[in-house]
Amino acid sequence: MSVVTNTIRNGVDTEKMFATLDLIKAQPELARFQFRATNRWIDASHNRSTIKGFYAAGGEDTTRSEEFQIDAGEPAILLGSDEGPNPAEYLLHALAACLTTSIVYVAAARKVELTSVESTLAGDMDVRGALGVDGEPRNGFERIGVAVRVTGNAPEEKLHEVVERGKQRSAVYDMVTNGVPVAVDVTTD
Amino acid sequence: MSVVTNTIRNGVDTEKMFATLDLIKAQPELARFQFRATNRWIDASHNRSTIKGFYAAGGEDTTRSEEFQIDAGEPAILLGSDEGPNPAEYLLHALAACLTTSIVYVAAARKVELTSVESTLAGDMDVRGALGVDGEPRNGFERIGVAVRVTGNAPEEKLHEVVERGKQRSAVYDMVTNGVPVAVDVTTD
């Protein structure tokens, strides 16, 4: 007699997830990852990033067959033609996406079946900073508000714990709240 | 006799740009902007943000006719199916796009005609942090390296000044290097 266990929860293969965690515990050097993006100016506020290659688990990835292309722009009031979301909006998307995935993975690990995760993010900015009109306001958002709604087959308290743990483990939440050292190297030929 | 001056430089309408700056200097309350994104979980690592409305210059924007939809995912090694770039890659894109646009706008203001702006970004991460395997590494990138190449009709020194000023005025560069306070509000019904 065999027992068939469904290891897929929230779409995540939890057997594979726990195997990955065990492997990285045993061989911490496999945890070194590098993600990349290449950006090219097109015209005015319009530019495009291409994203494909990354380094993971001891080698260059060979599984990603498709190159992603994503366009950024600005709305008319910021002198663009809406060629895409603007860079600050992409930062909100990065934060939202990372919180959502962290919540979904944590829930899968903790045997919580989710039915929905929805979030709305708003970032407040005084554009005098970025426009260089006044040195006082910072360039970026002064604050970001995230309203997240999560539903699933667990008591309210458990769902709150899952969101809290997801927040604590989110890569982009860490970067946006704590900052990251950025080194810019410039060439002109 | 009339003198026709081309006010478009690097695709940017510099006459409109300087008029905008003058207006915001005169009425600083118009500098209050709010950008937004709404995200919805689809399955596993796949989620989608929709971006449209924003508040700017004293009112809700009515010029943006199109809603942008952007998908995030994860590669196989992070238990996804490459449904889109992952959230950390989107953060690199946001940073690259913002640096590019800042450089292009500063160049336009300083009468520098650019011929190209290209950048490659790489973020190094020890995924033991985000996977919760070890509390020691941070969740996000430990560092981000940006290699930017700029060409145009100005001496090397001037091009370097434009990049430096673009960096100093970039909203996302500010946010990624210095961090932003993020408030998360959770509901479960």
Residue B165: the pLDDT is: 97
- Contact criterion met (CB < 8 Å) for A171 and B88: yes
The span from the CA of B54 to the CA of A96, in Å, is: 17
Question: What's the pLDDT at B189?
Answer: 87
Exposed e or buried b per residue across B24-48, where buried means at least 16 C-beta atoms within 10 angstroms of its C-beta: beeeeebbbbbbbbbbebbebbbbb
Of B24, B79, B175, the CB nearest to A12: B79
Q: Which residues contact B137 (CB under 8 A, 6 or more apart)?
A: A31, B125, B126, B127, B128, B129
pTM score, whole prediction = 0.97
How far does CA B127 lie from the centroid of its chain? 24
Query: Which of B66, B86, B91 has the CB atom closest to A175's CB atom?
Result: B91
Could you give the angle at the alpha carbon of B150 between the alpha carbons of B145 and B153, nearest 5°? 165
Contacts of A29 in chain B (CB under 8 A): none
- Closest Cα in chain A, distance from residue B85 (Å): 7
**Rounded Cα–Cα distance for residues A74 and A120 (Å):** 20
Its ipTM equals 0.97
State whether residue A23 sits within 8 Å of chain B by CB. no
Sort B185 into a burial class: Cβ within 10 Å, 0-12 / 13-18 / 19+: exposed
Only one residue has tokens 């743990």, namely A165
Q: Is A29 on the interface with B (CB under 8 A)?
A: no
pLDDT tens column, B82-107: 999 999 999 999 999 999 999 999 99
Q: Which residues in chain A touch residue B101, judged by CB atoms under 8 angstroms apart? A: 45, 47, 72, 74, 86-87
CB contact under 8 A, B150 and A188: yes
Which pLDDT tens digit goes with each residue over A93-130?
A: 999 999 999 999 999 999 999 999 999 999 999 999 99
pLDDT per residue over B121-148, tens digit each?
Answer: 999 999 999 988 887 899 999 999 999 9
List helix spans (H) across B35-170: 87-109, 156-169
Which of A77, A173, A59 lies closest to B30 in space, CA to CA?
Answer: A77
Q: Check if B9 contacts A (Cβ < 8 Å).
A: no
Closest CA relative to residue B51, chosen from B73, B71, B67, B33: B67
